[in-house]
Structure 1
Amino acid sequence: MASASEIFSSVKELETHLTSLGTKDVVIYFYGSSLETGVSWCSDCDASKNIILSTSEKRRSSLEFIRCEVGGRDSWIDPKNEFRTGVFSLNSIPTLLALRISGGQMKQQLHKFEEDECLNETNLSNVFISQWFD
């Protein structure tokens, strides 16, 4: 199991990890990569980071929390960015994506919170703490 401190930075790495999970409820936190200072180039990502990480620490033990950096600013704004295309189809960051994985495959997208929705404590509580997935 990946710990919340493990950070993925490519779709391939993320898909490989998801495949290894078997059947699991998952929340993926997508955000802009950090600069050398440790701060993300994305100010919205920085604004949401502490509340997301703090709430994720209270998550149900059955819930897998995954962090994923989508790249630097120049990479992110490219419409061909691998996170913007394909299975994840992100439109903005930060994004919290709640999924049900079954047999190592994405079975169901349960919810997607984008930008300011990632600051909403009710949204975060519903995803990390409640039995919302059931």
Structure 2
Amino acid sequence: MAHYEEVSVSGFQEFNWAVEQHNGKTIFASFTDSKDAGGKSWCPDCVQAEPVVREALKHVSEGCVFIHCQVGDKPYWKDPNNGFRKNLKVTAVPMLLKYGTPQKLAESQCLQADLAEMLFSED
């Protein structure tokens, strides 16, 4: 059984709601593409990063929250004015970050198990 809470959301508004619900806790967030109706991803790096991130989650401290957020379809993601880019400075997918801090991993960094483990295990 996981020693952290995991929340899956889709879109900018749901992400903000999830953050509000867990105010005061350490929040880690993973931003990935949204899969189509058939379960197919438009971001090959997101597909490759998923098992690496899942494995690294074993290093998350007790009581933390992990939010997995799907950012939307490719046209929405490419819009420079989407909420993720404009308000959260999420400029790439996949992206892992410790919410409220400058600590983050983007794109190919998310494929490196040692970096993901380090992000999750740092206090």
Q: State the TM-score bracket (shorter-chain normalisation).
A: 0.7 to 0.9
Residues 12, 83 of structure 2: 8 Å contact kept: yes
- Counterparts of residues 72-87 of structure 1 (less than 5 Å): 72-86=73-87
**Sequence identity of aligned pairs in percent?**
26
- 1:68-93 Cα shifts (integer Å, max 9, x gaps): 0110111111111221111x111111
Residues 52, 112 of structure 2: 8 Å contact kept: no
- 1:32-84 Cα shifts (integer Å, max 9, x gaps): 00123323211111110111122224522222111001101111111112211
Distance, in Å, in 2 between the alignment partners of 1:89 and 1:33 is 18
Distance, in Å, in 1 between the alignment partners of 2:86 and 2:54 is 26
Structure-1 residue corresponding to 2:91: 91
Q: CA RMSD in A?
A: 1.8
Structure-2 residue corresponding to 1:103: none
- Figure out how many residues of one structure are paired with residues of the other and give that number: 120
Structure-2 residue corresponding to 1:115: 107
Determine helix, strand or coil for the equivalent of 2:55.
helix
The two structures have a TM-score, normalised by structure 2, of 0.86
Gap regions ≥5 residues in structure 2: none
Distance, in Å, in 2 between the alignment partners of 1:65 and 1:57 is 11
Regions of 4+ moved over 6 Å: none
Determine helix, strand or coil for the equivalent of 2:27.
strand
Residues 104, 119 of structure 2: 8 Å contact kept: no
Residues 93, 115 of structure 1: 8 Å contact kept: yes
